[in-house]
C-alpha cells in the first residue's frame, strides 16, 4: 500500500528472485547516487532542514541516513562473502540520525553513497549464483538474509527514500 510513509509501497520480497529482478535491482543501485545528487544539488540549508514528512527526520538527516545504512549494507556483503553466515551488527538508526554528523553539509554523504554504490555494484556483478545465496544473520529477528535478498532490499531502500525526497520537493514546489 502506497502511503506517505511508504511512497513506493513497503518492501515485498518475491517468492522467487529471478535473474531479471537481480539485474533491475543492480541497475537501480548503480543509478541511485547520481539520481539522488541531481535531486538535491541545489537545495539550500532551509530546504535540507525541512522534515521530509510530518514527524520525520529532515531531508539532511535522511541523506546522511542513506549513507550510514548503505555503508552498513556494503560491510554486510563483505562479511557474508568472507565469513560463514556471520551474525551482523545492527545499529540504532534513530540514534545515528541524532548525532552531530547528521547536521553537517550533505556533500560527504553524497560522495560516500557514490563510492559505496560503485563498489557494491562491482561486487554484485562479480558474484556467482552460489555467492548470491550466501547469507548473514540479522540480530533483530535472528533470521538469515542472503545477498540476493539484500540486493533487492537496498534497491528498494534507495527508491523508497528517493521518493520521500522527491515528494517533499513536489509538495514544496521546489
Which three cell numbers, joined as nine digits, stand for 27?
Answer: 541497475
The predicted pLDDT at position 166 comes to: 98
Please give the Cα distance from 62 to 85 (Å, whole number).
30
The single residue listed with the C-alpha cell 549494507 is 73
Cβ contact 39:164 at 8 Å = no
pLDDT, position 95: 97
**Contact predicate 68/113, CB 8 Å:** no
The fold adopted by the segment(s) 24-172 is 1.20.120
At residue 1, the pLDDT reads 81
d(CA 135, CA 129) in angstroms, rounded, equals 12
Read off the pLDDT of each residue in 32-43 and give the average, rounded to a whole number.
98
The helix (run of H) or strand (run of E) holding residue 125 is helix 107-126
> What pLDDT, on the 0 to 100 scale, is given for residue 2?
84
pTM summary value = 0.96
Amino acid at each position: 500500500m502506497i502511503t506517505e510513509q511508504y511512497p513506493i509501497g513497503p518492501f515485498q520480497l518475491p517468492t522467487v528472485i529471478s535473474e531479471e529482478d537481480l539485474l533491475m535491482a543492480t541497475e537501480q543501485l548503480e543509478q541511485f547516487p547520481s539520481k539522488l545528487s541531481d535531486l538535491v544539488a541545489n537545495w539550500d540549508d532551509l530546504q535540507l532542514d525541512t522534515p521530509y514528512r510530518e514527524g520525520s527526520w529532515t531531508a539532511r538527516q535522511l541523506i546522511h541516513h542513506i549513507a550510514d545504512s548503505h555503508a552498513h549494507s556494503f560491510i554486510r556483503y563483505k562479511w557474508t562473502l568472507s565469513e560463514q553466515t556471520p551474525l551482523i551488527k545492527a545499529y540504532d538508526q534513530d540514534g545515528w540520525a541524532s548525532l552531530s554528523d547528521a547536521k553537517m553539509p550533505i556533500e560527504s554523504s553524497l560522495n560516500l553513497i557514490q563510492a559505496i554504490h560503485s563498489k557494491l555494484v562491482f561486487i554484485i556483478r562479480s558474484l556467482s549464483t552460489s555467492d548470491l545465496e550466501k547469507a548473514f544473520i540479522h540480530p533483530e529477528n535472528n533470521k538469515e538474509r542472503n545477498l540476493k535478498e539484500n540486493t533487492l532490499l537496498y534497491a528498494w531502500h534507495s527508491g523508497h527514500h528517493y521518493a520521500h525526497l522527491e515528494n517533499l520537493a513536489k509538495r514544496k514546489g521546489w
